[in-house]
Structure 1
Amino acid sequence: MSNVNLMCEKSFSQADQEIVDVFMEFQQALIDKNLDKLNEMILDVPDFINVTGKYQSKDEFLSQIGDGTLNYLNFDILNPTILFDDDNAASLIANVRLFIKINAKELRVISNSVVSFEKSSEKWCISKWEN
């Protein structure tokens, strides 16, 4: 059962749907604490921004997912817009309603998310997640 919901009435082109699908898969991997999948989906970038707005390394982010500091519980993606820079770079812009537990405190957050994607080995990967 998925804890990721797309709340949108518009239909997407095939290219746009690919990006939406990757973002939804990413969010489900966060909920499932699937560190192998997350490691595969996030590019090795100098700084990754988590839901708290904190800049951190990919390894630090994944460590906080694995040790239970960050617990993602549910995501609702609200009316995403997809923009392509070229065939190898895209962005998803959406409000994301999420339920998260940080250090045992449960929060409900609505985040203005901008997610940057880059193609790596013919797969879309996340290079930045700004909230």
Structure 2
Amino acid sequence: MTTKISEEEKVATVVRQQVSSMVNGNLDILNKVIASDAKFIHITGAVQSKDEWLKQIKIGRMHYFNSKEKLMQVEVDGDNALVISRNELDARIYGFRNTWPLQSRTELTKNNSGQWQIIKSQAEMY
């Protein structure tokens, strides 16, 4: 018997892969689940491209230790999706370590291969 996975579950899986790959430092998975032209908007309002953000992780300026998911809401509309998630994120960002209660608004789209990819993520504290 085959179980069909809903598009909402597929989208949630991509967002969870992003978070777990941040904690594990798995840049290969991050490259896969994030579109090349994605934008990241941090709690400070700073905007980074995918390449800039991954570089900061690679050189250790952004280091993620742990994340506890508190909320995951997924809406799918055709080939576009929106995820509102809340995580308690233990991270050292530019030398400052804290556990931040973050709410992220993550937008995804299906690529030409039919895979969901993150195109934009905006974080704020809740």
TM-score range, shorter chain: 0.7 to 0.9
Deviation (angstroms), 1:52:
4.8
Q: Could you tell me which runs of 5 or more consecutive residues in structure 2 were left unpaired when the two chains were aligned.
A: none
Give the strand-richer structure, 1 or 2. Answer: 2
Residues 70-101 of structure 1: CA distance to partner in whole angstroms, max 9, x if unpaired?
A: 01111122221111122x11011122211111
Counterparts in 2 of 1:59-70, with a 5 A limit?
59-70=51-62
Deviation (angstroms), 1:128:
0.7
Give the structure 2 partner of residue 76 of structure 1. 68
Deviation (angstroms), 1:34:
1.5
Counterparts in 2 of 1:1-131, with a 5 A limit?
14-45=6-37, 47-50=39-42, 52-86=44-78, 88-120=79-111, 121-131=113-123
In the comparison of the two structures, how many residue pairs are matched?
Answer: 118
* 8 Å Cα contact 1:50/1:61 also seen in 2: no
Tell me which amino acid in the other structure corresponds to 1:117: L
Q: Could you tell me which runs of 5 or more consecutive residues in structure 1 were left unpaired when the two chains were aligned.
A: 1-12
- The percent identity for this pair of structures is 28
Cα 1:27–1:54, aligned 2, differ >3 Å: closer, same or farther?
same
Give the CA RMSD over aligned residues: 1.8
Cα 1:48–1:103, aligned 2, differ >3 Å: closer, same or farther?
closer
